[in-house]
Structure formats: structure tokens, C-alpha cells
């Protein structure tokens, strides 16, 4: 299997949101964006996929060393081999690779976050740093466009955490701020055992979803018209995230019992429509 095929299977498997978003990416940047997604998924899956914290720590150390090798021009892994040319030609910053690695290490060291202030640090590392790399790879002309990357990454990371709340809880990680949980009159065990008071739980989950929607709106507002076409992959991912939020809201946020999905046809339609509008200089 070639490094490109490996990255496609890992970073943008058929049917995934990124698969449809990348269908409309600038062709000359598609492989690089796919490789970035694959690297992010490799690193981000280390802790969730390891039942032993010691093994996870060893794997994260290996990935840190592999990023060293990447920037020295000697990568070993298919994903970093695919990233070698983009790192050189686009001058992707090492700092943002390290931030993603730090975010993955936070998964290993923290099981909860006292408030959104602390959680936002995690989301910046795992989400916004990766989004900055993707925005740079896709290309931009307006110096204000990197501001779009921050809110793009926050929206996608928080949306993923909300959708995966039951899975993460079962693994011992809670990504709802503890102070917001207390304000809702709920505790961690009630969430884990699915016996929380329904109205309080719905209100809490709605609050989390509203925060995601806020970052989606901010991201769109911050993207200059001149770069909407080149950044259409990010705009598509935001549009798909928004559709998931609408589906959750329509069902009353039964997120502890059911995982929401968009159909492939729905994803394709949203991606096509968003890309078409982006090419015309429109954000959504």
C-alpha cells in the first residue's frame, strides 16, 4: 500500500465527513490535506485505542520522535512520509505539530476539566493547531485568514467531543466542564449510568451544542471573502457539523443513547452546495 493510499484510508475513509469535504478541495492540495488528517487521527487515537496508559505514553513518545525525523527529512511512517513534501514546500510550522501532540498527552493526563477555560486549552491543541496546519496547507492570501483556523478547530473539536460523550465517559474522560455540570444539578456518575434528570441533561447538552454553533458562526465571520474558495474544505466541515447539530436538536439531544449520523447522500449534497457557494465568495 502506498503512503497516499494509507493516508486516504486513515484520514478520510469513504463515507466520512472529511471524505466528502476533500472531494471539493483544491486538487493540488488534496493529498497534503489528507495526509494531515491522517496524522491527526494517528496521534489523536493513541490514548482512546490503548487500554494501558504506559503503552499509550510510549506510543506518544514515538510520535514525538517521528515528528523530529519528519523535520529532519527522514520520516519512517507512511503518514509522515506523505507529509515530507508539504512540510518542506509549504513551510508548515513544527510548533503546531507539537501542540497536537501535547493535546494527545492531555488525554493521557487529564480525565476532566474544571471549567471551559481549561477545556479550551485542550481544544486549541487538538483542534485549532491542526486547523491552522490545514488552513496553511489549503492556502490563503489575506493575513486575517489564520483567525478563521482557530474557530474552525474549536468548532470541530467541541462538536466531536459532544458527539462522542458516551464513549469518552466510558473510557474515564469527561469533556463537559465540571462547573457547568454542577450548575445543571448533575454529576459524572449520573451521566455515565444514564440516569440523569432528563430536562437537566437536555439543557446541559443544548448549552454545549450552542457553544459549538457559536464557534461555527465566528469561524464563518472571520474568513475573508478572498480566501473562501481556497478554504472550502473547512467550510464544508463546518456545514456538516452544523447539520449534525440540527439533527441532535430536532431529536431533543438523546446523545447518551444514540449516536447521530448524516447519510452519505446528505453529506454529498451539503458538501457540493457549500463548495459552490464558497467558489462564489460566500461563506455558507
CA distances from 56 to 44, 94, 105, 109, 110 (A): 11, 22, 9, 11, 14
Q: Report how many helices (DSSP H) and strands (DSSP E) the chain contains, helices first.
A: 16, 0
pLDDT for res 96: 97
Q: What DSSP assignment string belongs to 100-154?
A: HHHHHHHHHH-S--SSHHHHHHHHIIIIIHHHHHHHHHH--SSTTHHHHHHHHHH
Whether residue 279 has pLDDT greater than 90: no
Picking from 150, 107, 102, the residue whose alpha carbon sits closest to that of residue 125 is 102
Residue appearing with cell numbers 466542564: 177
Question: Contact 40/11 with Cβ under 8 angstroms?
Answer: yes
Percent of the chain with pLDDT over 90: 88
Share the mean pLDDT of the chain: 94
Identify the band that residue 219 occupies on the pLDDT scale cut at 50, 70 and 90. very high
Question: Contact 202/238 with Cβ under 8 angstroms?
Answer: no
Give the span between the Cα atoms of 261 and 209, in whole angstroms: 15
Mapping DSSP onto H, E and C, the string for 55-93 reads HHHHHHHHHHHHHHHHHCCCCCCHHHHHHHHHHHHCCCC
**Residue extents of the structural domains in the chain:** 3-279
Percent of the chain with pLDDT over 70: 99
Whether residue 15 has pLDDT greater than 70: yes
Q: For 107-134, what is the mean pLDDT? A: 96
Question: Contact 211/203 with Cβ under 8 angstroms?
Answer: no
pLDDT for res 62: 97
Question: Contact 205/162 with Cβ under 8 angstroms?
Answer: yes
Which of 125-134, 137-146, 195-204, 222-231 is predicted least confidently?
A: 195-204
Whether residue 134 has pLDDT greater than 70: yes
Q: For 229-243, what is the mean pLDDT? A: 97
Whether residue 121 has pLDDT greater than 70: yes
3-279: CATH, from 3.20.20.70, 1.10.3720.10, 1.10.600.10, 2.60.40.290: 1.10.600.10
Provide CB contacts within 8 A for 157, sequence distance 6+: 123, 126, 127, 128
pLDDT for res 196: 82
pTM assigned to the model: 0.95
pLDDT in tens, 145-199: 999 999 999 999 999 999 999 999 999 999 999 999 999 999 998 888 888 888 9
Whether residue 14 has pLDDT greater than 90: yes
pLDDT for res 51: 86
Residue appearing with cell numbers 473539536: 157
pLDDT for res 2: 82
Identify the band that residue 284 occupies on the pLDDT scale cut at 50, 70 and 90. low
pLDDT for res 281: 67
Q: For 211-217, what is the mean pLDDT? A: 98
pLDDT for res 203: 95
Amino acid at each position: 500500500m502506498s503512503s497516499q493510499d494509507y493516508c486516504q484510508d486513515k484520514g478520510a475513509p469513504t463515507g466520512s465527513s472529511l471524505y466528502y469535504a476533500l472531494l471539493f478541495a483544491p486538487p493540488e492540495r488534496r493529498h497534503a490535506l489528507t495526509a494531515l488528517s491522517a496524522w491527526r487521527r494517528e496521534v489523536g487515537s493513541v490514548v482512546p485505542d490503548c487500554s494501558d496508559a504506559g503503552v499509550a505514553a510510549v506510543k506518544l513518545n514515538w510520535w514525538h520522535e517521528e515528528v523530529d525525523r519528519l523535520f529532519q527529512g527522514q520520516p519512517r511512517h507512511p503518514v509522515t512520509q506523505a507529509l515530507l513534501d508539504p512540510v518542506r514546500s509549504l513551510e508548515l510550522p513544527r510548533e503546531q505539530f507539537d501542540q497536537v501532540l501535547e493535546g494527545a498527552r492531555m488525554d493521557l493526563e487529564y480525565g476532566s476539566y474544571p471549567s471551559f477555560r481549561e477545556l479550551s486549552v485542550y481544544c486549541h491543541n487538538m483542534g485549532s493547531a491542526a486547523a491552522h496546519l490545514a488552513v496553511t496547507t489549503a492556502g490563503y492570501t489575506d493575513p486575517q485568514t489564520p483567525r478563521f483556523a482557530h474557530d474552525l478547530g474549536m468548532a470541530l473539536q467541541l462538536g466531536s467531543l459532544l458527539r462522542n460523550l458516551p464513549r469518552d465517559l466510558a473510557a474515564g474522560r469527561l469533556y463537559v466542564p465540571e462547573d457547568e455540570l454542577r450548575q445543571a444539578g448533575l454529576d459524572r456518575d449520573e451521566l455515565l449510568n444514564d440516569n440523569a434528570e432528563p430536562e437537566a441533561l437536555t439543557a446541559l447538552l443544548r448549552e454545549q451544542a450552542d457553544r459549538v454553533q457559536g464557534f461555527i458562526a465566528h469561524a464563518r465571520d472571520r474568513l475573508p471573502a478572498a480566501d473562501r474558495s481556497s478554504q472550502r474544505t473547512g467550510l464544508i466541515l463546518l456545514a456538516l457539523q452544523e447539520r449534525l447539530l440540527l439533527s441532535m436538536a430536532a431529536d431533543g439531544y438523546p446523545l447518551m443513547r444514540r449516536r447521530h449520523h448524516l447519510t452519505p447522500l446528505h453529506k454529498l449534497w451539503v458538501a457540493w452546495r457549500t463548495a459552490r457557494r464558497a467558489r462564489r465568495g460566500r461563506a455558507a
